[in-house]
Amino acid sequence: MNMEDAQDQYGKSNGEENAHQQTGTALDDENEIVAEQAAFVHGEPPQNTEGPPKIDSEVEVLHEKVTKQIIKEGHVHYRAWTESTLHKFEDTWQEQRPIEMVLGKEKTQMAGLGIGVSSMKSGERALLHVGWELGYGKEGSFSFPNVPPMADLLYEVELVGFDEANEGKARSDMTVEERIGAADKRKMEGNAYFKDDKLEEAMQQYEMAIAYMGDDFMFQLFGKYRDTALAVKNPCHLNMAACLIKLKRYEEAIGQCSIVLSEDENNVKALFRRGKARAELSQTDAAREDFQKARKSAPEDKAIARELRLLAEHDKAVYQKQKEIYKGIFGPRPEPKSNRFNWLVIFWQWLVSLVHGLKFKKVKAV
């Protein structure tokens, strides 16, 4: 089943859905998407594992100690290396969480990074060269991250976007209601992009929504506040999964669904979408397990039944193909020899021995 077939059940979301409710079944409005938990996880860009990317674009001087080279238009996270040794000391892609920067209020060690980011457009990705004076300084850092003294730095930076909704207020200064409200606004903007099939833009909004509700924030919540936050966060993860499946980025989609299932192990949409992604990767046993678990909560759901039927048909086709391969390798079984042929051989041997015996007797008589 393609993604469009599934969306009537699990690929759309109701724009009027109450942010305080999580639904595990299909929605009636086919023009919008359904969302549940999301983490600020974006597709990790290709990288040279030996060090920062090799690029030939023009060098732009932003400061005496900061230069920038455009890599490509894209989305925001960063990796950081010491320039002399190419020791990578920080990677938000690997941590699956970008940092929050309030420009003009960044840490002293990130002054150069702040200058570089302030020159970037939303969605831009760039390589920044930062002098040690605007990095970790003369002393360096011997805790985390570990940066030697007077180390010039390289940053591979991808800007998700500037958030003007808070009028410059840091997330740490926002109330719980403000953070959840800002996240919900981003989620709705992502839904609008999704309806227009602008998947990258939609994911950008979902990522920014999830950034409001990181682990440190969620850890502090309990009761109705946690339920309210999850009702916004979980839909973002599931919408991210829907986008990633359409973009054929199945491993990432599985990760998004698994985040939801860590909070709600029986979430039907998360099980269905993870099963769909696993099926696309030919992980048929794992996909079947997800679909069967989803069917327990939604036994009448036609989309789940269709996916299970497709898996059964796939298994049958694989069995037939293996059967043909087996026949090709070993060939047909040899036919048993005819008993008639065996008796003819025995008769012929007897006749030869009889003639030979008669000849011997005749010679002896002479």
Alpha helix segments (H runs only) across the chain:
3-6, 92-95, 111-118, 176-195, 199-211, 215-219, 223-246, 250-263, 268-280, 284-297, 302-330, 339-365
365 within some domain: no
170 within some domain: no
Would strands 66-73 and 124-130 be described as parallel, antiparallel, or unpaired? Answer: antiparallel
Q: How far is it, in rounded angstroms, from Cα 202 to Cα 222?
A: 29
184 lies in the same domain as 297: yes
145 within some domain: yes
Q: How far is it, in rounded angstroms, from Cα 165 to Cα 72?
A: 26
37 lies in the same domain as 180: yes
117 lies in the same domain as 21: no
Query: Which residue range is the domain that position 32 belongs to?
Result: 3-42+176-313
Domain CATH number, residue 188: 1.25.40.10
- φ/ψ of residue 90, rounded to 5: -155, 145
304 lies in the same domain as 182: yes
- At 278 the pLDDT is 96
For the beta sheet containing 124-130, the strands, ordered from the edge strand earlier in sequence to the opposite edge, are 60-63, 66-73, 124-130, 153-158, 77-82, 88-91
Q: How many domains in the chain? A: 2
Q: Which of 354, 349, 273, 270 is nearest to 307 (CA)?
A: 273
133 lies in the same domain as 244: no
20 CB-near residues (< 8 Å, 6+ apart): 227, 228, 231
Using the CB atoms, write b or e for 145-184: b if 16+ within 10 Å.
bebbeebbbbbbbbbbbbbeeeeeeebeebeeeebbbbbb
Domain CATH number, residue 128: 3.10.50.40
- φ/ψ of residue 66, rounded to 5: -140, 125
334 within some domain: no
Q: Which of 106, 132, 158 is the last residue of a domain?
A: 158
301 CB-near residues (< 8 Å, 6+ apart): 9, 25, 26, 268, 294, 295
What pTM was estimated for this model as a whole?
A: 0.56
91 lies in the same domain as 118: yes
195 lies in the same domain as 306: yes
DSSP-derived 3-state class of residue 88: strand
47 within some domain: no
- Answer yes or no: are the C-beta atoms of 158 and 78 closer than 8 Å: yes
147 lies in the same domain as 254: no
288 lies in the same domain as 187: yes
- φ/ψ of residue 60, rounded to 5: -110, 125
338 within some domain: no
Q: In order along the chain (366 residues), what is the average pLDDT of each group of 10 residues?
A: 39 37 35 37 50 70 70 62 87 69 71 81 84 89 86 87 56 83 90 92 86 82 90 94 95 94 94 96 94 94 94 84 69 56 67 65 49
184 lies in the same domain as 274: yes
Using the CB atoms, write b or e for 205-216: b if 16+ within 10 Å.
bbbbbbbbbbee
137 within some domain: yes
- Answer yes or no: are the C-beta atoms of 185 and 165 closer than 8 Å: yes
How many Å from the N-terminal Cα to the C-terminal Cα in the chain?
Answer: 96
Q: Which of 130, 158, 186 is the last residue of a domain?
A: 158
Q: Which of 275, 292, 313 is the last residue of a domain?
A: 313
Q: Which of 244, 194, 325, 235 is nearest to 37 (CA)?
A: 235
- At 296 the pLDDT is 94
- At 188 the pLDDT is 93
138 within some domain: yes
Residue 233 has, within 13 A of its CA and on its CB side, a CA count of 25
Q: How far is it, in rounded angstroms, from Cα 261 to Cα 240?
A: 14
217 lies in the same domain as 88: no
126 lies in the same domain as 230: no
